[in-house]
Structure 1
Amino acid sequence: MRTLTYFIATSLDGFIADPKGGFGDFLFEGDHMTALFEEYPDTLPAQAREAMGIDAPNKTFDTILMGRATYQVPGGLPSPYPHLRQYVVSTRLTTTPPDVEVIAESPLARVRELKEEPGLGIWLCGGGRLAATLLPEIDELVLKIHPIVLGKGIPLFAGDTPTTHFAKATTRTFDTGVIFATYTKSDT
């Protein structure tokens, strides 16, 4: 069975973006970025992969799930991750390129189907409301914790969620102060 991983940047106070959906306050330079490029090249959009000359096969993920706001980030591409199977969960989005599928209803059921298919992992890219909806199916959290307090914004999980336990798998601290913390779903 495939794994659903919520791989996301977050502030110290648990926000994945500012109130308008921006993430410009996060750090985009430093040793944590080198690790990101080397270890998770699948998570880079097409423009970044092209600029960096990354044409390697996917290592971790072959599928991406995004909420509408994540997909329509300002300046975004109509097909931001052509090296992945792209899904956008939205009831309002109607037009996408052929390689981007819209999930308009039952995202939990669709994720369960995707997890049963063969392949690499499934990357939940954002946003917070979608993460709250899909929490029962999230197997792993990979949090890129940035040393900043935003004070307000889009929370890691936006909405009512059941208490869900995760166990620490790994942590890695970088000179920039960014921490990569990986947690796996726990039975307790």
Structure 2
Amino acid sequence: MRKLVYFIATTLDGHIAAPSGGDPTGPDGFWPVGQDYVEHLVAEYPETLPGPARAAFGLTAEGTRFDTVLEGTNTYRIGLDAGVTNAYPHLRHLVFSRSLTELPDPSVELVATDPVARVRELKQEDGRDIWLCGGGELAGTLYAEIDRLVLKLSPLSTGSGIPLFGRSVAFEPRGWQLTDQTALKSGVLFLTYDRV
């Protein structure tokens, strides 16, 4: 069965974005993007790079980990605000939203129904794992369905911001087993945890 993998950048204090949202790695972001970080993504997670970045690096391979990406409304809007209607044209792209009634790109699937039910359907399909790109609110909704965490842990704290699992997830302690780790010279850690 396919796994739902929450592959996300986070701070030491567990924030994935500023309190107002937005792209933490964008022009107004707070996340430092070092050369070793980009090189690691290109080598190990090339399918998680947006289409324009893949083109800049000359990446054409499908990748080996994910064939599907899931986003919530606010995460999808980051691309829209940059003029990108489908940041991941090389993946099956689903946007979960109850506020949007249509999307500007017909190749992106809008899901207005129950996210948990839809993810359970996706897990039953053949293919590679499913990448939960963000945001925190969608991750909170799908909290019980997440099989693996891949945390790109930055050596920085923000004090406040959007939490890893959003602001409304219920208190439900879960155990995770560390199954892989990579430390970059910049201090960024890639930590992989599988649900126990």
Q: TM-score interval w.r.t. the shorter chain?
A: over 0.9
* Residue 126 of structure 2: aligned partner: 118
Measured after TM superposition, the shift of residue 166 of structure 1 is 0.9
* Residue 16 of structure 2: aligned partner: 16
Deviations 1:120-146 (A, max 9, x none): 110000011110110111010000000
Q: Distance in 2 between matches of 1:76 and 1:2?
A: 31
Q: Distance in 2 between matches of 1:156 and 1:12?
A: 11
Deviations 1:124-183 (A, max 9, x none): 000111101101110100000001111111100112232121111112111101000100
Measured after TM superposition, the shift of residue 58 of structure 1 is 2.4
Gaps of 5+ in 2: none
TM-score, scaled relative to structure 1: 0.96
* Residue 185 of structure 2: aligned partner: 175
Q: Distance in 2 between matches of 1:80 and 1:95?
A: 16
Q: Does 1:150 align with 2:158?
A: yes
Q: Does 1:63 align with 2:71?
A: no
Measured after TM superposition, the shift of residue 76 of structure 1 is 4.9
Amino acid of the residue matched to residue 59 of structure 1?
T
TM-score, scaled relative to structure 2: 0.92
Measured after TM superposition, the shift of residue 21 of structure 1 is 1.4
Q: Distance in 2 between matches of 1:160 and 1:43?
A: 25
SS, match of residue 72 in structure 1: helix
Gaps of 5+ in 1: none
Q: Does 1:98 align with 2:106?
A: yes
Question: Which of structure 1's runs of 4+ aligned residues deviate more than 3 A?
Answer: none
Q: Does 1:85 align with 2:92?
A: yes
* Residue 55 of structure 2: aligned partner: 50
SS, match of residue 57 in structure 1: coil
Percent of paired sites with the same residue: 49
* Residue 141 of structure 2: aligned partner: 133
* Residue 33 of structure 1: aligned partner: 38
